[in-house]
Chain A
Amino acid sequence: MKMRPDPVRGVLVEELANAESRLAMYARELNSMPRGSLVSRNIRGNQYHYVAYWGGGKVRYEYKGKMVPADIRRYVESSKMKAKYRGLMADLRARINFIKRALHERKRRAI
Chain B
Amino acid sequence: MSTGVISPTPTAARATSIAVEYLKLTKPRVISLLLVTTAAAMFTAAHGVPNGWLILWTMVGGFLAAGGANAINHYVDRDIDGHMKRTDARPVVAGSVTPRRALVFGLACGVASAALLATAANELAAVLAVMGLAVYVGIYTLWLKRSTVHNIVIGGAAGAFPPLVGWAAVTGHLGLYAWMMFAIVFYWTPPHFWALALLLQNDYAAAGVPMLPVVHGEDATRRQIFLWTLVMVGVTVLPCAAGLAGWTYFAGALILTAVFVALAFRLWRTPSRALAKATFHYSLLYLALVFVLMAIDAA
Q: Do these two chains really belong together in a complex?
A: no
